[in-house]
Chain A
């Protein structure tokens, strides 16, 4: 489903050439749960941005369902994200002046859903993440764990086939982190492909596969605990 072919990314920063990706190759089949780990600056987030059609590579190609993402123009890629990709971020990136339910409604508004169906779907998702009683609270009125749950609900709003998570547990306590990973496992079990960038080894272990990135290249791949258990 997701495929990277010899992807590289270089850019200039203060006159110096920086290599963020260096000939990375990866194939992520439908329904996979892949964790990307590596030291800071190894290119993890760059790789995630490229998979999400938000950062064009300097070389190589990225495919989603056989479609070369960067052969599309920026509006075409926005359309692709809107229909097929759900993002979740380390800092949640909720819109601060909108309530929880309105934040979840954004992706639904973007695909042109009418107001009643937006509200019904947002209520369903917030109930699913345990925030039925916090729907009309603004992010500043919610705990960080609750904010990330709103972000998870928003991620699922358009029923995406691919979930891209950038350190989703990075700002959370261990218990809430556990809940977030549980939730990602749950959506993966529904058949969605999950790609997660993380520093947390325990979170990474929950994936089916772990890709290690170093200096912009995938240097190793190993199965996650779940896969090992299944194989055993």
Chain B
């Protein structure tokens, strides 16, 4: 005879009474696990999609329109380059990369192209699709913010190293430009009266970028004679931060600029993720109330039903601490079983339904097992504590028929 023998025997003897409470906690944990699991992989999918599209937030002049996302910097209006500094100096979380751009139409051999001034590393980091160019490595994940003008920290040093790589006389050309002008690496070309050497020909992207010639931002500013201005700042914002109001925060920081995002993706997929996250929270609250109430109700009934047995144990020498442990151990077993069962069923549901509901492939997340068991055990213990305490304080005289 051990404590767990006593508890397990009672559970199996009266399992039908326990069933409702067990199902309440099992279903609750199942739903939480499956939603959390699907949400996680859905967020990952959105993050990957955002990443593959490059910049997902644009800072533009107030008067510009956004008819073509990829040509948003070609409308002639400008904003001060100082905005880049302001963004970089801010403490806004989720600004993964900043790419200021200034674009000018140029005519070469009777064909119109776009000369775009960039701060090189920023530009390349922002364009995951250009990874094949092999010049710069692309940052992974959020938080790899670039430096700002005039700063002396490590980020600025990183930026300077990049500037040294793309000299004032160097250009990168898009695939269409190279094709139409017959350019290849190490060739030279004249643009607006200045001679550049072609450092690299960029792979085809299928966007307006294929018709661009990229030069250093400050060189393009000199050629345009417009001063230290830019047409747009492309920003890679973390998906999660965008959903948490990053755009509004950037808007507050730069009230004279227009801040837009890829609404089709950010609005729909992020909204789905937010909805899933809210659903998960809602289910957590429901399980806390319904599951907790069900367990507490069952435990009170169980204590009432077993009062003679508790009195007998006390008559035989059991102290109140032991009686408390008997009921809390029962709650612990209920919680662990509900948590593990909920994790297993929830994971199976997520893996099976994930592709159908959210269009993403879902894999099991072992970390969720800890969350499931943690919530389940905590809930069972909290809900059972007061009934268990009542049992521990029972009058052992209930054992006898008369007083």
Q: Enumerate chain A interface residues (CB-CB to B < 8 A).
A: 11, 20, 40-41, 45-46, 48-49, 52, 54-55, 74-75, 78-79, 81-83, 85, 87, 89-91, 93, 95-98, 102, 105-111, 115, 118, 154, 158, 166-167
Contact A110 B316 (CB under 8 A): yes
Q: Is B140 an interface residue (CB 8 A)?
A: no
Q: Which residue of A lies closest to B315 (CB)?
A: A87
Contact B316 A49 (CB under 8 A): no
Q: Is B312 an interface residue (CB 8 A)?
A: yes
Contact B400 A111 (CB under 8 A): no
The minimal Cβ–Cβ distance linking A56 to chain B, given in whole angstroms, is: 10
List, in ascending order, chain A residues with CB within 8 A of B274's CB: none
Decide: A106 near B315, CB < 8 A? Known: A45-B400, A97-B9, A97-B10: no
Contact A75 B320 (CB under 8 A): yes
Q: Is B401 an interface residue (CB 8 A)?
A: yes
Interface string of B309-327 (1 = CB under 8 A from A): 1011111111111100000
Contact A49 B403 (CB under 8 A): yes
What are 10 A-B residue pairs whose CB atoms fall within 8 Å in the complex? Answer: A45-B400, A48-B400, A54-B399, A55-B403, A78-B319, A79-B319, A81-B315, A87-B316, A89-B315, A108-B1
Q: Complex formed: what's the CA distance from A111 to B1 in Å?
A: 12
Partner of B2, one of A74, A79, A109, A166: A109
Q: Is B258 an interface residue (CB 8 A)?
A: no
Contact A90 B401 (CB under 8 A): yes
Contact A106 B319 (CB under 8 A): no
Partner of A82, one of B308, B317, B401: B317
The minimal Cβ–Cβ distance linking B306 to chain A, given in whole angstroms, is: 9
Decide: A102 near B5, CB < 8 A? Known: A54-B314, A55-B397, A87-B315: yes
Contact B13 A110 (CB under 8 A): no
Interface string of B1-25 (1 = CB under 8 A from A): 1110110011011100000000000
Q: Which residue of B lies closest to A82 (CB)?
A: B317
List, in ascending order, chain B residues with CB within 8 A of A48's CB: 400
The minimal Cβ–Cβ distance linking B8 to chain A, given in whole angstroms, is: 10
Contact A102 B313 (CB under 8 A): no
Partner of A52, one of B1, B315, B401, B402: B315
The total of Cβ contacts below 8 Å across the A-B interface reads 97
Contact B1 A109 (CB under 8 A): yes
The 10 lowest CB-CB distance pairs between A and B, nearest first, are A82-B317, A97-B13, A105-B1, A109-B1, A93-B312, A78-B319, A75-B319, A81-B317, A87-B315, A54-B396
Q: Complex formed: what's the CA distance from A158 to B318 in Å?
A: 13
Contact B309 A95 (CB under 8 A): yes
Query: How many residues on chain B are close to A (CB under 8 Å)?
Result: 31
Interface centre among B1, B12, B314, by most chain A C-beta atoms within 10 angstroms, is B1
List, in ascending order, chain A residues with CB within 8 A of B315's CB: 52, 54, 81, 87, 89, 93
Decide: A78 near B399, CB < 8 A? Known: A98-B9, A108-B1, A115-B2: no
Q: Complex formed: what's the CA distance from A36 to B1 in Å?
A: 35
Q: Complex formed: what's the CA distance from A115 to B332 in Å?
A: 23
Decide: A166 near B313, CB < 8 A? Known: A74-B319, A78-B319, A108-B1: no
The minimal Cβ–Cβ distance linking B283 to chain A, given in whole angstroms, is: 35
List, in ascending order, chain A residues with CB within 8 A of B10's CB: 97
Decide: A20 near B403, CB < 8 A? Known: A54-B314, A105-B1: yes
Q: Which residue of B lies closest to A138 (CB)?
A: B13
Contact B9 A102 (CB under 8 A): yes
Decide: A115 near B1, CB < 8 A? Known: A81-B317, A98-B9, A110-B318: yes
The minimal Cβ–Cβ distance linking A29 to chain B, given in whole angstroms, is: 24
List, in ascending order, chain B residues with CB within 8 A of A20's CB: 403
Q: Complex formed: what's the CA distance from A209 to B261 in Å?
A: 97
List, in ascending order, chain A residues with CB within 8 A of B400's CB: 45, 48-49, 89, 166
List, in ascending order, chain B residues with CB within 8 A of A90's CB: 401
Q: Which residue of B lies closest to A91 (CB)?
A: B401
Within 244-295 of B, Cβ neighbours of A (below 8 Å) are at none
Partner of A96, one of B13, B316, B403: B13
Within 350-378 of B, Cβ neighbours of A (below 8 Å) are at none
Q: Complex formed: what's the CA distance from A20 to B403 in Å?
A: 7
Decide: A54 near B397, CB < 8 A? Known: A41-B402, A106-B1: yes
Q: Complex formed: what's the CA distance from A46 to B3 in Å?
A: 31
List, in ascending order, chain A residues with CB within 8 A of B319's CB: 74-75, 78-79
The minimal Cβ–Cβ distance linking A97 to chain B, given in whole angstroms, is: 4
Partner of B317, one of A78, A102, A115: A78
List, in ascending order, chain A residues with CB within 8 A of B1's CB: 102, 105-106, 108-109, 115, 118
